[in-house]
Copies of this chain bind each other. A is one copy, B any other.
Amino acid sequence: MHQICLSLLSGLCLCLVFLCSAEEGLEFPNFDGKDRVLDINERNYKKALKRYDLLCLFYHEPLSANKGVQKQFQMTELVLELTAQVLEYKDIGFGMVDSQKDAKVARKLGLGEVGSLYIFKDDRVIEFDGELSADTLVEFLLDVLEDPVEMISNAMELRAFERMEEDIRLIGYFKGEDSYYKAFQEASERFQPYVRFFATFDKSVAKHLSLKMNEVNFYEPFMEEPAILPGRPLSEMDIVEFVNQHRRATLRKLRAENMFETWEDDMDGIHIVAFAEEEDPDGYEFLEILKDVARDNTNNPELSIVWIDPDDFPLLTTYWEKTFKLDLFRPQIGVVNVTDAASVWLDMSNDEDLPTAEELEDWIEDVLSGRVNTEDDLKSADNQDVTGDSDKSHDSDDSDDDDDDY
């Protein structure tokens, strides 16, 4: 039985079960076996669009004869089925669109990327390009169901707003639900839930944020001062264009809900990647240095550092350690080539001595100028004795003091 199950499930990426408790109140859902995910086709897609508040469509390749691909597909269906079950009372429909059989429907609906999930809400389409797991998806859909603009009406809520430094945030000051607010709201719907929109009708909140009437501030993640959107009042398109232009932050956190999208948005084929556990004293310290560097270089369009907190991705931690030859119990920063995952990492083997912001900036300059690059990684892989022609002041080879296992 064990063998059957393992072989049937060999395409399974992750599966979770839960210990049961005799007490009530913490019961994780079991998939009940009921089909809830629709097979979308020309006959039923309009009805489905009309019927639900949200409609989630998974756009997939035609069924394959390859057993591995088949299993992967079944697992995707299961994730959608479980998500549909969990959200049964929330008026969300789920469906599958075959890129061959349903090519016409796909064209009409504007589905572009095979393997993506599209969420239809009113007359908008939101693409989900994150970890396709039931919990990430449920959380994402619950976020999409919320109001796209959150109100800030007192000092405590303002404090909450000011603490959200990881998010791209906009906040506008309006008289009330007038046409200027409506334009802001319309704009917010285009970015929900990836960019957070806040509004206040409260004079003292606005004063604290130095916001004039009908003005909108844009907060880049980890920056202390916001940018003020030029002009006021602002039209929906003014806001949309500004956000689109400023969306790629100098320091951005990798998140499960859009991790693949972030990773695909590389800088000339590379990413500067920093690993730091915020909950660790060391990691926190390193992150603060990184924030300083980002603040100093916020106007450099060439620079965007991806910060990964390993705590957010337990299943990827050992994969990264192996792929990049790293010890992720400590902070790390390096350059990763996204086409072959070759990488070069800054030597920070002395725990007590993290680099200063200045040292980090020098290293980043070396990366941006190409003096430090991932060719060094390939060279050192070709010939383990040669450290390559890396910059003298920074040892960029992969010393494996701490990971003899690899």
Contact = CB atoms under 8 A, between A and B. Distances in A.
Contacts of A242: none
- Which of the listed residues A5, A72, A338, A339 has the most CB atoms from chain B within 10 Å of its own CB? A5
Contact of A2 (B74, B157, B285, B340): B74
Contact of A17 (B13, B160, B164, B284): B13
Q: What interface size band does chain A fall in?
A: 35 or more
Chain B CB within 10 Å — which of A6, A117, A282 has the most?
A6
A79 B15 contact: yes
A315 interface: yes
Contacts of A348: none
A392 to B, nearest CB: 28
A338 B82 contact: no
A138 B263 contact: no
B314 A135 contact: yes
Interface string A225-249: 0000000000000000000000000
B279 A15 contact: no
Contacts of A35: 6
Interface string A135-154: 11011001000100011111
Contacts of A321: 89
25 contacts: A1-B70, A8-B8, A12-B31, A13-B17, A14-B28, A14-B135, A15-B75, A16-B131, A17-B76, A19-B115, A19-B130, A23-B263, A24-B339, A25-B336, A26-B259, A26-B263, A28-B316, A89-B403, A136-B314, A138-B314, A138-B315, A146-B329, A151-B281, A159-B288, A160-B284
Closest 9 CB pairs of A and B: A16-B133, A160-B284, A157-B281, A24-B341, A14-B16, A17-B75, A15-B15, A139-B314, A138-B314
